[in-house]
Amino acid sequence: MLRPGLMRHSSFNLVATLLCSPIVEVSSSLGIWNSIFQVTRRASHYSAEEKLNILAKRTLRKAGIETSSKMTADILWPPEKVRGMTTLDHEAFHKTITVPVAHVSLSAVSPVFKVLKKYYLKLCNFSAIKEGPPGTNYKVVYLNPLSFPGNESKISEEIDESCKKFFKTVSSGERPVQFLTSQIELTYENWDAPETIQAVLPLEDNGVSGYSRVGHIIHLNLKEHLHPYKNIIGKIILDKSPTEVSMVVNKVDTIDNSDNTFRCFTMEVIAGGGDTVATVKENMCTFTFDFAKVYWNPRLSTEHEMVVKMLDRSDVLYDVMAGVGPFSIPAAAQRKCRVVSNDLNPESFRWLCHNVALNKVGERVTCFNQDGGDFIRSTLKEDLIATCTDPDFQGEIHVTMNLPAIAIEFLTNFVGLLSDANLCSDTFKLREPIVHVYMFSKDLKASSCATRVAYYLGLVDELPDFDAEFTTKLQAYTVAAKSQKSACDETCKETEAFTPNIKFVNDKYDIPGLIVKHLRFVRKVSPNKAMIRMSVVISKDILVKKKPVLDRREGRLQDQHASKKRKLETENF
C-alpha cells in the first residue's frame, strides 16, 4: 500500500565535466529530480515567473503531460503562497482551478475513451474518470487544461472516426460526447514529493538531488542551503513514500571524516522516528543491520550482482572489506562457492555473522574481524596456500576490496605475499588471484586508474597526483564556461554544453607486469568524482617478489608484520 503521492523518481545523477578525449559515454538515468535541478540551476537570467513556468512545464512533461502555449503550466502547480514554507501547512496547498471535461455517453465509452485517454488529467490521487450524477447516462472525463484546449476540432474528428469504426455507422442524432468546463479543488495530496518540495523551496535554490531507501529508512544528503527546510522536506518525503517507510534521516557529516574508521556517518532524524535496525533484500538475499553503525549503499546492488556472477561453484572468494555481506552472502547462496569474509568494524562483523545465519550459508562462509592488511597477510595467505595445495581444487581465486577511498593501498600486502612459501612442492599448484579493487577517480581516465594500481603493486615508481591535476583543469574550465555563459544573449537558453554528461576516457596504457581483466565505471559519487572497479590478476612475479614492500603512503619501508590503522581520506563519498 502506498501513501498519497508516492515519490516515483528516486534516482538522480548530477552532471560532470569532461576535459579530454577520446570518450566512451556512460549512460545515466534522469528523472523528475534531474529536471527540477537543471531548471533551477540553468538560465539565471529568467524572471521568477518565467522560471516557475519552465519548471512546471518540464516537470509535467516528465510525467507525460504535454502543454500548450495558451495557458501557463503553473495552473497544475502548487499555489505560489506555499513558497518559503518551513512548517508544513496542508491547507495552504488548496487551489481551485477550471478544467475542461467531457460528458461521454455510456453507449460510446469504448470508442470515445480510446481518443480521449491521451488528454486525461493526470494527477496524484485523482481519478480522471468519474460516474455522472444519479439518473444520468454518461461518464465525466476530466481533461488536461494544458493540452486539450485548442484541439477540440481535431479531437471531435477523431471521435467521429473512432465511433464509425466501432459502430460501423455514425448516428445523426445526439453526439456521444459533450465538452464543458468544471471546477476542481487541488490539495496537498495531488502532487508528488519532487513537485511539492520544489514548490516550497525558494526559486533560486536547487532542489533535493535524490535519496536512498534502506528498509524503513529514507536517507538524504541535503546541501547546506537546504538545512532551513530540512524538516519540511523530511515530512513531505515521509508523507509521500510507501507506508513501510517510517523514518527520514539526513547525513550530518561526510562518511570520510577524520575520526571515522568504519565508514559510518552521523545522521539526524528529520521526520518520523523509530529504530535504525533495517532489513533489506538484495540479489535474492536478506540483510539485517543497524544503518547508524555500519555502511550500506543500495546504489551498489547491480555492482554486487555483476561481481557475484563472475564466480563459479568451484571458486573461492576472499572478501577483505566485507561489510555486512553484500558480496559474500550472494556468492555463497547463489553461486555456492566457498567464501572467507572479513571486516574491521565490530558492528559490521556482528551483522555479517547474523546475515550468514539468516541466509543459511554458514557451511560455506567463514567470518573474521581483522584489519584488512592483517587479514591478507595472515588469514588469506594461509588459506590461499592451503587451497593451492588441495589436489581437488580446480577453480579460481577471487578477492574483493570495496573500500574505494583507500582499497588500492592494501594491494601492497600482495607484494611478496608468498615469498616464503614452498612453491616448489609437488602438491603446490599456484592459482593467481583476481583482485576486484575499487577506487575513486576524478579524471576518469583508464590509464590513471591503471597507474594507481600498478604503483601499489610495485610495478611503477612514480604516482602523479591525477586528481589535483584534474581539479586545476576543472577550475580553468569553470572560469571559461562562466565567461562564455555571460557572453550569451540574455534571451537564449543555456545549452547542454555547459553541463555535459559524464564520460569515461578509455585511453590506452601499457604497464609491464600489470594484467587487467576488467575496468568498469561503477557510479558517480559527486559531481566531479566517480567510483571505478579494476579487476587485476596478481601474478606469480608479484606474489613471490623478494624485495621489501614500500609503504607508498608514507614514503618509507613498511614492516610487513605491523598492524596498521588506516584513516579515510576526507573526500565526499
Q: Is 113 helix (H, G, I), strand (E, B) or coil?
A: helix
Distance CA 327, CA 285 (A): 11
Angle subtended at Cα 375 by Cα 311 and Cα 309, rounded to the nearest 5 degrees: 10
Helices 193-200, 48-62: inter-axial angle, 10-degree rounding: 170
The angle, 0 to 180 degrees and rounded to 10, between the axes of the packed helices 48-62 and 32-41 is 160
Q: Residues 186, 95: contact at Cβ < 8 Å?
A: yes
Residue (of 490, 502, 505) closest to 50 by Cα position: 490
Strands 397-401 and 316-319, sheet pairing:
parallel
Provide the pairing of β-strand 277-282 with 316-319.
Answer: unpaired
Nine cell digits for residue 179: 465538452
- Letter for the amino acid at 464? P
Nearest to 431 by CA among 547, 306, 315: 315
Q: Which of 72, 15, 79, 11 is nearest to 47 (CA)?
A: 72
Count of CB atoms within 10 A of residue 64's CB?
9
3 state SS of 545: coil
Size (the chain), residues = 573
- Say whether 89 sits in a helix, a strand or coil: coil
Residue 371 among known ligand-binding residues = yes
Helix (H, G, I), strand (E, B) or coil at 311: coil
For residue 87, the 8-state DSSP code is S
Q: In what order do the strands lie in the sheet with 338-342?
A: 365-368, 338-342, 316-319, 397-401, 434-441, 529-537, 515-526
Asked if residue 541 belongs to a known ligand binding site, the reply is no
Instruction: Kindly state the cell numbers that stand for 543.
Output: 606474489
Residue 461 is assigned to a ligand binding site: no
Q: Which amino acid, one-letter code, is at 78? A: P
Q: How far apart are CA 28 and CA 520, in angstroms?
A: 15
For the record, the C-alpha cell of 423 comes out as 612453491
Other beta carbons within 10 angstroms of residue 410's beta carbon come to: 22
Q: Please check if 510 is assigned to a binding site.
A: no
Q: Is 205 annotated as a binding residue?
A: no
Q: Is 359 annotated as a binding residue?
A: no
Identify the CA nearest to 78 among candidates 29, 18, 5, 14: 5
Q: Is 407 helix (H, G, I), strand (E, B) or coil?
A: helix
Nearest residue to 267 (alpha-carbon basis) of 334, 218, 300: 218
Burial degree of 306 (CB within 10 A; 0-12, 13-18, 19+): middle
What are the angstrom distances between the C-alpha of 354 and each of 33, 160, 279, 525? 36, 66, 12, 29
Enter the C-alpha cell of residue 412. Answer: 601492497
Q: Helical H runs in 376-507?
A: 381-388, 446-456, 466-487
Cα–Cα distance for residue pair 266/259, rounded to 1 Å: 11
Annotated binding-site members: 304, 343-344, 371-372, 402
Annotated binding-site members for S-adenosyl-L-methionine: 304, 343-344, 371-372, 402
